[in-house]
Amino acid sequence: MYALVDGNNFYVSCERVFRPDLNGRPVIVLSNNDGCAIARSNEAKALGVKMGAPWLGIRHLEEKEGLVALSANFALYGDMSDRMMSLVAGLGHQQEIYSIDESFVDISGIRGDLTDRSRRLRQRVLDWTGLPTCVGIGPTKTLAKLANHIAKTAERKPGSYPAEFSQVCNLAAMEREALQQVLAATEVREVWGVGPRIGQQLEAEGIKTVLDLTQLDLATVRRRWSVVLERTVRELQGTPCVDLEEAPPAKKEIACTRSFGRAVMDLGELEEAVTTFASRAAEKLRRQGSHAGQVLTFVRTSPFRPDKQYSRSIIVPLLRPTADTAALVEGALMGLRTIYRSGYKFAKAGVMLVDLSDACVEQGELDFEEGHGEGRCRLMTAMDALNRRYGRGTVIIGSAGTGEMPRNWAMRQERRTPRYTTRIGEIPVGKA
């Protein structure tokens, strides 16, 4: 038995915890460089704001409808997520953090009323963090995900489902007839694992609801679509096929890319940006216990500007797999200097670490080489610890710049709220 706990409109909800004046108002959170909407309040959805809508296309709603647009505050969202997940873990035996605002919890064998237990957990999260959540319960992860969708929809759109399904929906507690009615009222595209393309194909075959999908012959599903969709159908029928992952699998590639706040033409500024990106990618690499054998660097101009266009990438193989920030930055800068061309207005750059391997696979006999070995590992560990404790960028590679001068390549975040929970200087202070 699984429960899926999901934060409602998570980024917007995090902002509202510290800005109660935003409650009841249409609010969106914008992506990097304030480009497009990546989170919307229910009020913003009611105005017709779509996920991914460009800010320039909906900006008129700011004055016309009172739409509030905020720059993404990822430091705040990450910290609030940690607080929420620590509470959600108490719901069951094991937890799989699926995304920043979602986690599956194994509640198998827990006695008592699981619906009531989930409602009490939801209230605890709301009381202790201020974040509203919805809970879906089912005998498989796919059914738990579907139940969570029903719980959110019943809360947001009264009348779409029975009122008792609002906020917490337990499909496992339903009688067969009631369950079939709910499945028949839910579109097939709402199933976890059924994307727009597969959903369109299913609807063309007359399979429009989740109930229709559960009644398909498994052999036919496998032959006409895929083994993946067959597994999804089995899960909808109540047969567990997807296990809980206590630890996320290691990534096969690690990237850090950014669009610039303003066009960049100078090589020195690009070197600062690429150094910063490679350093952040290196931190992620060490966090998952991997080494990289190659570094990919790319730069490109904006296809949306009437300037001359240029886009190029290059892969630089390293002498040996490493997680050393200095070595990875050196490889990234070597690639950048090779592909850089003057006279272009660059809009984006990035670094990707590829050819990843487990950090425990070492050529021990080479550890005496200068710049490698146990000493460098301790240095990287110390650097990561300082940056975690005192904030990102406390200790950096010299080619990243001092940060004293304004950086054209830095993201635009003109509407970002304070990082209330992670920066002591940004804690709200009231008048005595």
Write the pLDDT tens digit of every residue in 352-361.
999 998 876 4
Maximum alpha-carbon separation in the chain: 71
Among 82, 95, 84, which residue's Cα sits nearest to residue 126? 84
Whole-number pLDDT of residue 301: 93
Whole-number pLDDT of residue 248: 65
Whole-number pLDDT of residue 389: 76
Confirm whether pTM is higher than 0.85.
no
Whole-number pLDDT of residue 350: 92
163 three-class SS: helix
8-state DSSP, 53 = -
Q: Which residues of the chain have pLDDT under 50?
A: 361-371
Spatial distance between the Cα atoms of 122 and 116, rounded to a whole number of angstroms: 10
8-state DSSP, 366 = G
Write the pLDDT tens digit of every residue in 322-355.
999 999 999 999 999 999 999 999 999 999 999 9
CB-based burial label for 164 (10 Å; 0-12, 13-18, 19+): exposed
Strands 68-71 and 168-170: unpaired
Cβ(153)–Cβ(167) below 8 Å:
no
Whole-number pLDDT of residue 376: 77
CATH architecture of 254-400: 2-Layer Sandwich (3.30)
* One fold for 2-7+78-123+130-236 and 254-400: no
Whole-number pLDDT of residue 10: 95
Whole-number pLDDT of residue 66: 94
- Domain regions of the chain by residue span: 2-7+78-123+130-236, 10-75, 254-400
Which CATH superfamily, name and number, covers 2-7+78-123+130-236? Reverse transcriptase/Diguanylate cyclase domain (3.30.70.270)
Whole-number pLDDT of residue 403: 54
Cβ(420)–Cβ(76) below 8 Å:
yes
CATH no. of 10-75: 3.40.1170.60
